[in-house]
Amino acid sequence: MTALILLDAAGRRRSPATVPGHHCGHAPRNKGLRYPADPPTVEEIVAVMRCAGPTPHGLRALALIVLLWRAGLRISEAVALTESDLNRATGGVLVRCGKGGKRREVGMDRWGWEQIEPWCHWRVEMPVGALLCVIDGPTSGRPWSPSAARTTLRDLAVAAGVRRRFAPHQLRHAHAVGMAREADVIQRQLGHANLGITSIYLQGIDNSEIINTIYARPAPMLPASAGLR
């Protein structure tokens, strides 16, 4: 703001975009654009996780990746989690305010819980608050911003040599693809023509049963050729 005042005082013309309210009523330039799902492969996700490293910043990034991938959370839901929202005993993760303000509890598999455990152990050394928190400076313990989290994932993907978009929602897509394959198995087992019919049968499943089922899911498998280049 000081720079704008100096420009005005000097009689220099400034961009209309700097005037307060200039963007009001204008849709964002990316509004309506849709990116293809194109989720990263298991090999690519694991490569990024390995690239994160054992530092506190790396452990936090690894925990974020796991929550997005193995629990299927949105980035806003992941960074809004508090330490008390994790229930290791049941395998449940409580989302207090999801899309549309909806509250729900989701499951995460044993492998996922094992991956976030190092960060959870390190997290207790900091002030009580957000699970994925700011580590350094006077704001330590406060929620990690979604924009900073996205930047971290992008930088790690570049360092890991992953040549595709590695955004939080891509990891959620990877979770959905894995679940869709399992739903397809149920559909074929029951001999249904489409998943719409299968979903009728699935509506009566209790949420605790869903969490238990997700908790019991096997760990992600890497092909035998992975890392043999």
List of domains in the chain? 42-215 (1.10.443.10)
Percent of the chain with pLDDT over 70: 72
What is the reported pLDDT for 194? Answer: 72
Q: Using CA atoms, how far apart are residues 185 and 189, in angstroms rounded to an integer?
A: 6
CA-to-CA distance for 157 and 41, rounded, in angstroms?
A: 12
Q: How far apart are CA 162 and CA 167, in angstroms?
A: 12
DSSP single-letter state for residue 198: H
**Coil, strand or helix at 196:** helix
So which residues are the catalytic ones?
Answer: 74, 99, 169, 172, 192, 201
pLDDT digit string (tens) for 120-133? 999 998 888 999 99
Q: Among the listed ranges 99-103, 140-144, 223-227, which one has the minimum average pLDDT value? A: 223-227
Q: What is the amino acid identity at position 8? A: D
Which pLDDT belongs to residue 228? 43
**Res 28 pLDDT > 80:** no
Please state the pTM of the whole predicted model.
0.76
Q: Is the pLDDT of residue 88 over 80?
A: yes
Average pLDDT, the chain: 83
143 DSSP assignment:
B
- In angstroms, the CA 20 to CA 228 distance is 56
In this predicted structure, the answer to whether residue 84 has a pLDDT above a threshold of 60 is yes
